[in-house]
Amino acid sequence: MGESVLLELESVTKRYDSPSQAEGPPVLKGVSLRLGPGESLAVVGPSGSGKSTLLNIIGALDRPTSGKVVLDNRDLALLRDEELAVIRSRQIGFVFQLHHLLPQCTVLENVLVPTLAVGGATEEAQSRARRLLERVGLSERLSYRPGQLSGGERQRAAVVRAMINRPRLLLADEPTGQLDRTSAQNLAALLAELNREEGVTLIVVTHSAELAGRMGRVMELRDGTLKESTPRAPDGNRGSGKRGD
């Protein structure tokens, strides 16, 4: 895999055993994909098509039944669980439909939680957290707890938490699914901005045509196969998906 490719999936298949222990039908059927540094991709498709399963495999939260997942020239299938944990903490950021913020912690404390796995909340990490929170409009909410925030504010805090360790790959699973239209638009703009300015490779799973339209590429997962697609956002605006300076 060349230097211009950060992530490569080669003929990835995933099956889950049925309750009778018989081999179940494949959720993913020979999925292949290549993404370079700083690219952005939306994965769309009907509910139950395996989009979250695909994201979990890319994020080293699950293993494929067969096929290869290579991130930054490392075949994830060959790594031990401990090595995968290090990759998840240092190279991959996750944003989910539900924010999963710790209710007893402040916004700033929540954002710093991932740093505990990579050396702790150093002065540099705290400075980055404050800068990112200011960038997403949460500089006045540092001492607030999640229950004191709006849904859009909680998701913005979750995005900052995902970015705190400077991951090379950011995975977002239906990040706007629980938000009102205005909050969803703001979050979509934020993700596209981070993709450009931080140079992070971004993959979003979404039902939102507007969010998909901000990504550099769109692919559809249907019947277990992944194919290029070209849906457009309502305003026809597509993000460049290129690395920013």
Helix (H, G, I), strand (E, B) or coil at 183: helix
Among 53, 30, 43, residue whose Cα is nearest residue 220: 43
Residue 114 has pLDDT above 60, yes or no: yes
* Counted domains in the chain: 1
- Which amino acid, one-letter code, is at 207? H
Q: Distance between CA atoms of 102 and 147, rounded to whole angstroms?
A: 10
The distance from CA 44 to its chain's CA centroid, rounded to whole angstroms, is: 14
Residue 95 lies in a domain: yes
Section 213-230 average pLDDT: 91
Q: Distance between CA atoms of 218 and 225, rounded to whole angstroms?
A: 14
For the segment 79-100, what is each residue's pLDDT rounded down to a tens digit?
A: 999 999 999 999 999 998 888 8
Residue 1 has pLDDT above 50, yes or no: no
pLDDT at 3: 56
- Which amino acid, one-letter code, is at 3? E
Residue 70 has pLDDT above 70, yes or no: yes
Residue 240 has pLDDT above 70, yes or no: no
- Residue 22: pLDDT band (50, 70, 90) is low
Residue 127 lies in a domain: no
Tallying the residues shown for the chain, one arrives at 245
Higher-pLDDT residue of 212, 242: 212
Residue 58 lies in a domain: yes
| % of the chain at pLDDT higher than 90 | 74
Residue 138 lies in a domain: no
- Using an 8 Å Cβ cutoff, are 208 and 173 in contact? no
User: Residue 217 belongs to what domain range?
Assistant: 7-104+163-229
Residue 160 has pLDDT above 80, yes or no: yes
Residue 168 lies in a domain: yes
β-pairing, 23-35 vs 40-44, is unpaired
CATH code of the domain containing 30: 3.40.50.300
| % of the chain at pLDDT higher than 70 | 90
Section 59-84 average pLDDT: 93
If you average pLDDT over every residue of the chain, what do you get?
Answer: 88
Tell me the sheet residues that pair with 128: none
User: For every residue of 103-149, which 3-state class applies, written as one string?
Assistant: CCCCHHHHHHHHHHHCCCCCHHHHHHHHHHHHHCCCCCCCCCCHHHC
Name the strand (E) or helix (H) holding 14.
Answer: strand 7-17
Section 32-56 average pLDDT: 93
Residue 228 has pLDDT above 50, yes or no: yes
Residue 151 lies in a domain: no
Q: Which of 13-22, 136-145, 231-240 has the lowest mean pLDDT?
A: 231-240
- Using an 8 Å Cβ cutoff, are 68 and 58 in contact? no
Rg (CA), the chain: 18
pTM: 0.87
Name the strand (E) or helix (H) holding 30.
Answer: strand 23-35
- Residue 230: pLDDT band (50, 70, 90) is low
Among 20, 25, 8, residue whose Cα is nearest residue 224: 25
Residue 131 has pLDDT above 60, yes or no: yes
Residue 47 lies in a domain: yes
Q: Distance between CA atoms of 39 and 233, rounded to whole angstroms?
A: 18
Q: How many other CB atoms are there within 10 angstroms of residue 221's CB atom?
A: 22
Residue 214 lies in a domain: yes
Residues 6+ apart with CB under 8 A from 77: 63, 64, 68, 69
pLDDT at 77: 86
pLDDT at 149: 95
pLDDT at 237: 43
